[in-house]
Structure 1
Amino acid sequence: MAHFIEQMAYIGVTPWHGLGRRLSPKQPIEVWQREAGMDWKIQDSPVHFKSNSIGALGSIYTFPEQKVLYRSDTKAPLSVVSSRYQVVQPREVLEFYRDLTEVSGYELETAGVLKGGRKFWALARTGQSTVLKDNDQVDSYLLLATSCDGTLATTATPTTVRVVCNNTLAIALDGSNRAIKVPHNTRFDSQAVKKQLGIAVSQWDEFMYRMRALTERKVQWHEAMGFFMNVLCDVAPDEKLPEALPNERALRRVQGLYEGGGRGALLKSAQGTAWGLLNAVTEYVDHERRARSIEYRMDSAWFGNGAQIKQRALDAALRLAA
Structure 2
Amino acid sequence: MAHLVETMAYVGDTPWHGLGNQLSEHQPIEVWQREAGMNWSIESSDVRFVTGTGNIGAIHAFPDQKVLYRSDTKEPLSVVSARYQVVQPLEILEFYRDLTEVGGFELETAGVLKNGRKLFALAKTGQSAALKSKDTVNGYLLLATACDGTLATTAQFTSVRVVCNNTLQIALGDGTGAVKVPHRSQFDAQAVKRQLGIAISSWDAFIARTKALAERKVSDSAAEAFLRRVLNYSTPNVADRDALAVNERAIKAVGQLYAGRGKGADLASASGTAWGLLNAVTEYADHHRRARSNDHRRDAAWFGAGATLKQKAWDEALKLVV
The interval holding the TM-score normalised by the smaller chain is over 0.9
Alpha-carbon distance in 1 for matches of 2:277, 2:221: 12
Task: Report what 1:240 is aligned to.
Answer: none
Alpha-carbon distance in 2 for matches of 1:24, 1:164: 22
Task: Report what 1:16 is aligned to.
Answer: 16
Given that 2:173 and 2:202 are in contact with CA atoms closer than 8 Å, whether structure 1 keeps it comes out as: no
CA 1:206–1:31 in structure 2 vs 1: closer, same or farther (change >3 Å)?
same
Q: Which runs of 4+ in 1 moved over 6 A?
A: none
Moved more, 39-48 or 12-21: 12-21
Describe the superposition over 1:35-83 as per-residue Cα deviations: whole angstroms up to 9, x where unpaired. 1111110000000011117x84310000000100000111111000000
TM score, norm. by length of structure 2 = 0.94
Spell out the pairing of 1:45-194 with structure 2 (5 A cutoff). 45-52=45-52, 56-172=55-171, 176-194=175-193
The CA deviation at 1:149 is 1.0
The CA deviation at 1:102 is 0.2
Alpha-carbon distance in 2 for matches of 1:165, 1:59: 59
SS of structure 2 residue aligned to 1:157? strand
Alpha-carbon distance in 1 for matches of 2:277, 2:183: 36
Q: Answer yes or no: is 1:37 the counterpart of 2:32.
A: no
SS of structure 2 residue aligned to 1:61? strand
Task: Report what 1:239 is aligned to.
Answer: none
Please tell me the residue identity of whatever aligns with 1:29.
I
Alpha-carbon distance in 1 for matches of 2:298, 2:199: 24
SS of structure 2 residue aligned to 1:34? helix
TM score, norm. by length of structure 1 = 0.94
Please tell me the residue identity of whatever aligns with 1:43.
E
CA 1:143–1:131 in structure 2 vs 1: closer, same or farther (change >3 Å)?
same
SS of structure 2 residue aligned to 1:10? strand
Task: Report what 2:3 is aligned to.
Answer: 3
The CA deviation at 1:20 is 1.5
Alpha-carbon distance in 2 for matches of 1:2, 1:201: 39
Alpha-carbon distance in 2 for matches of 1:87, 1:312: 31
Q: Answer yes or no: is 1:296 the counterpart of 2:296.
A: yes
SS of structure 2 residue aligned to 1:123? strand
In structure 2, runs of 5+ residues without a counterpart are 235-243
Given that 1:40 and 1:71 are in contact with CA atoms closer than 8 Å, whether structure 2 keeps it comes out as: yes
Describe the superposition over 1:173-207 as per-residue Cα deviations: whole angstroms up to 9, x where unpaired. 68923211111000000011111111665311011
Describe the superposition over 1:15-34 as per-residue Cα deviations: whole angstroms up to 9, x where unpaired. 23312111100111011111
Please tell me the residue identity of whatever aligns with 2:29.
I
SS of structure 2 residue aligned to 1:139? strand
The CA deviation at 1:247 is 2.2
Spell out the pairing of 1:133-282 with structure 2 (5 A cutoff). 133-172=132-171, 176-198=175-197, 201-234=200-233, 246-282=246-282
Count of residue pairs the alignment pairs up: 313
The CA deviation at 1:321 is 1.1
Alpha-carbon distance in 1 for matches of 2:248, 2:38: 40
Please tell me the residue identity of whatever aligns with 2:167.
T
Alpha-carbon distance in 1 for matches of 2:80, 2:131: 46
CA 1:111–1:187 in structure 2 vs 1: closer, same or farther (change >3 Å)?
same
In structure 1, runs of 5+ residues without a counterpart are 236-243
CA 1:258–1:70 in structure 2 vs 1: closer, same or farther (change >3 Å)?
same
The CA deviation at 1:209 is 0.3
